[in-house]
Chain A
Amino acid sequence: MKSNQEKFFETIFLSAAFFIVAIVIVVIIELFIRALPALRTFGVDFFTRDVWDPVRREFSALPFIYGTFFTATLSLVISYLLSVMIAYALTELIPKWLSEYISSLVDLIAAIPSVVIGLWGIFYLIPVIRNIIQPILRPLSFIPLFSGTTFGFSYLAADLVLIFMITPIQVSIFKEAFLSVPQDLKEAMYALGATKYEVARHVIIPVSRRAMIAGVILAYGRALGETLAVTMVIGNKPNITLSLLAPGYTLASVIANEFLEATDPLYTSSLIALGLILMIISLIVNIVGYFISRGLKR
């Protein structure tokens, strides 16, 4: 038996939730409608051709999908390795009193706004890549990853920046996971004479696997959608290549750079289609991550 007052309040709460849902649905529909012209014009080619030519009015998503995944995936792999090591150091190697402060420092990285990292990237990272890293990599240029010359603005710069930004996320989650490993499990191993490394490898990490996966997925989602810092250092040139030194372009960057300049409807529609693609990609990654982490809580 609900009083009218009760129902009133319940309606307010429900309305707020509904409002959010409504906005999201309206927006997705609008995005879809506006992306349709481009998708209809180019069809499947939109995903398979490698072209982005505002002059001849031929657009496709392939170079940007490539760029987005190329940067995000490579960064994730390296960041994962780094994060596991750092979490290991913070939980097992460094004394607790110190570890708390250093953890705060690492968390601090996540608080730095993306623009500031981009700003630093332009003035300090790019010259380093151009003047120091490039000569160092020259003897290795037979490896496709390191081939080519660079103006400094490159996939490499974007990767370095991304690694820097997504590592704290993973470190924080990994740390929490490592710390929740039951103490007795670890003690049992130590009692048997295991080294710290062995305990980590055979106990801590396997037990934490699920939480770590959630962390990795969260970080991946972040890397896929990161806009500003990447745009400022990647070179902004659609480029499907294995060369890290070459300039590149991601879905987020091309929208950021070219949306206001898109002068014809097909151009705008193509950019919105790219936005739709980006949104769908991150939605999928997010939903997967959400369900995995919920699986954990049970």
Chain B
Amino acid sequence: MKTRIIIDKIFAFLALISLGIILLPLAHIVAMVIINGARVVNFDFLIKTPRPAGFPGGGIANAIEGSLVLVALTMGFSFPIGLLAGIYLAEYGRGSLAEFIRTLVNALAGMPSIVAGLMAYILIVLYFGFSAVAGAFALSLLAIPYIVRTSEEALRGVPNDIREAGLALGLPKWKVTIYIVLGAAKGRIIIGALLAMARVFGEAAPLLFTAFGNPHHVSSIFEPVDALPLLIFRYALSPYPDWHMKAWGAALLLMIIVLTINLVIRITIRKRYAVRF
């Protein structure tokens, strides 16, 4: 009898330690990002572009603008396509064709980010050169499966009575889908899009050979751009202490953006659960 209790206690202990083990690095990372980053982030940091390598001063405006442009392009491209495809799979798809498409999308979902970059290089860069467009394409390859999946699930979650009620009123199917079902599912769909956006902000691997980097303000989407995660990668691997500090500052900005989006998602989810019951 006693041994059983001892075993129970041991495992409880181990479990709690495990929790500690995983939370400790989290605390350290967050703390270091805040401490190191806060030292660097100031008005100049946000507004100015970088100075030549090894010269102190300057900022990372190029990366901030680049990230915003890339995310806008990516969401602009992948949200409509993903949503429309999701609508197809949920409302219109029947049989093996839909199954095939669904399996393909799910396979695409697990795509390593570097392969997405490779794909974008082959399709876009070799013809149009390094550009924000190429980077956005690569990021879209990662975002689209997400959006398709979450949209499809959101739409499936809408109870059938709503659809039937619409049809009973004499509305054509497409109107029921777009105005009624979509309206009912829009919360979850937006959450899916937000999740995709949070992910896309933080990806750098697909941008290595597509967006390429650019020390100036963004002037065109057909030109190379920089991005926060890309800059962090470059600066972290450089030997210049000034760049190391800037990398932490960029990390702080990135974390703030990503965490804000996640917070919005969480609040929205909490509300929905509350409203349901």
Contact = CB atoms under 8 A, between A and B. Distances in A.
- The answer to whether A and B touch in the complex, with CB atoms under 8 Å apart, is yes
Contact of B103 (A8, A112, A222, A287): A287
Interface string A110-128: 0111111111101110000
B255 interface: yes
Contact of A255 (B21, B118, B244): B118
B184 interface: no
B113 interface: yes
Given A111-B258, A196-B12, A255-B118, A225 B251 contact: no
B111 A282 contact: yes
A74 interface: no
B232 interface: yes
B133 to A, nearest CB: 15
Given A113-B203, A115-B229, A225 B19 contact: no
Main secondary structure of the interface of A (DSSP, over half): helix
A3 B101 CA distance: 25
Contacts of B258: 111-113
A256 B114 contact: yes
B201 interface: yes
Interface string A94-117: 000000001011101101111111
B242 interface: no
Contacts of B148: 20
Nearest to A118: B236
B262 interface: yes
Contact of B12 (A90, A93, A114, A119): A93
Interface stretch (A55-63, A81-89, A142-150): A81-89
Contact of B16 (A82, A93, A289): A93
B255 A82 contact: no
How large, as a class, is the contact surface on chain A?
Answer: 35 or more
A277 B262 CA distance: 33
A20 B204 contact: no
A116 to B, nearest CB: 5
Interface stretch (A21-29, A43-51, A133-141): A21-29
Interface string B35-46: 000000000000
A18 B104 CA distance: 11
Interface in B1-23: 4-5, 7-8, 11-12, 14-19, 21-23
Interface stretch (A9-17, A181-189, A207-215, A240-248): A9-17
Contact of A164 (B25, B93, B106): B25
Contact of A225 (B113, B248, B262, B266): B113
A10 B237 CA distance: 50
B173 A6 contact: yes
A106 B126 CA distance: 41
Of A19, A124, A260, A275, most buried by chain B (CB within 10 Å of CB) is A275
B61 interface: no
A9 B174 contact: yes
Nearest to A125: B25
Interface string B243-266: 010011001001100110010001
Given A116-B255, A120-B32, A5 B172 contact: yes
A238 interface: no
Contact of A259 (B106, B110, B118): B118
B110 A282 contact: yes
17 contacts: A13-B87, A16-B88, A17-B85, A20-B85, A88-B11, A88-B15, A102-B23, A104-B266, A113-B204, A113-B255, A115-B229, A122-B236, A197-B11, A197-B12, A225-B115, A227-B113, A227-B205
Given A113-B229, A114-B203, 13 more contacts: A14-B88, A20-B85, A23-B141, A86-B19, A115-B229, A118-B233, A122-B237, A195-B8, A198-B4, A225-B110, A227-B112, A232-B233, A255-B115
Which 7 pairs across A and B sit closest by C-beta, in order of nearness? A225-B112, A113-B202, A16-B84, A286-B110, A9-B174, A195-B8, A85-B18
